[in-house]
Amino acid sequence: MKVICSGMPKTGTKTLASALKTLGYNVYDFEEQVFYIGRDLQKVMDEGWTVEDLRRIYKGVDAVTDVPGCTLWEELYHAFPEAKVIHTERSSEEEWVRSFQKQIDVLMAHQSTRWLMQFSSTGRQLRRFLNTAFRLQASALPFSPFYISPFNASLAKLRYREHNANVHAVTSRDRILHFKFKDGWDPLCKFLGVQQPNKPFPHRNKGGEIAGEIIEKSLLFQQIRKELFVTLPLLGAFLCALLYYACILLGFI
């Protein structure tokens, strides 16, 4: 591990992940953490962890962004003492909580996708992972399968303040960059000791629009669609057979 991005969701994590990928880092954002190491991380979130667990799970990962990496940032900070920390925040906690609420609203708007995910093992894993990760990080449950839990904005803001204060208190000054996206490549590249690329600095997920892109193009949802291609026809055949035998029993046939 070379870079630990400690900023909470909706503090520019997608933009930072894109920037680090441009710089050549093997970045595990939320999607990669679910797709490649999700089962191990689910166990960590449910049961706890050791330093050895985290070193094994994140072996070969250059940088981590978003949940649950930012939730575990302090443990990763101690597990990988050579890693540098990049911390991002919004201009205010009110701005952050509005953005977080909007992201939840975007996710919840895909009702058909949420229900179809019940018939995919990867979909069920993703739903559980989302529930656990967001609950631990921001005290919110945005992706429940059968009901919508109320979003506790007051508690989410409390968690946001606690998280940021902890990052400021724990990290040594030589290992952390409090990064502002308006500053672009220069401070980021100087902090990491890498050459500045000849490309514009990226800007991702403004207004939560990337949720739709993830559902359409991501590795996770490609796998979910493959599993649905198998399970939904089988489910349809089972329901037709069930209906047929029910008609026989009721004397309609």
Q: Which pLDDT band holds residue 222 (cuts at 50, 70, 90)?
A: confident
Whether the pLDDT of residue 145 is over 80: the answer is: no
Q: How far apart are CA 69 and CA 54, in angstroms?
A: 10
Q: How far apart are CA 178 and CA 63, in angstroms?
A: 16
Digit-coded pLDDT (tens) for 19-41: 999 999 999 999 899 999 999 99
Q: What are the E-state strand segments in 55-154?
A: 63-64, 84-87
Q: Are strands 176-178 and 27-28 parallel, antiparallel or unpaired?
A: unpaired
Digit-coded pLDDT (tens) for 176-221: 999 999 999 999 999 999 999 999 999 865 555 555 556 566 777 7
Share of the chain above pLDDT 70, in %: 79
Closest among 119, 111, 108 to 225, alpha carbons compared: 119
CA 208 to chain centre: 13
Q: With contact defined as beta carbons under 8 Å apart, do 130 and 103 qualify?
A: no
Residues 6+ apart with CB under 8 A from 33: 41, 64, 66, 67, 68, 69
Digit-coded pLDDT (tens) for 77-115: 999 999 999 999 999 999 999 998 888 777 666 655 666
Secondary structure string (H, E, C) spanning 200-224: CCCCCCHHHCHHHHHHHHCHHHHHH
User: What are the phi and psi torsion angles at 3 (to 5°)?
Assistant: -135, 130
Closest among 116, 142, 125, 133 to 220, alpha carbons compared: 125
Q: Which pLDDT band holds residue 162 (cuts at 50, 70, 90)?
A: very high
Amino acid 106: pLDDT: 73
Query: Per-domain residue ranges for the chain?
Result: 3-249
Q: For domain 3-249, give the fold.
A: Rossmann fold (3.40.50)
Q: How far apart are CA 228 and CA 111, in angstroms?
A: 16
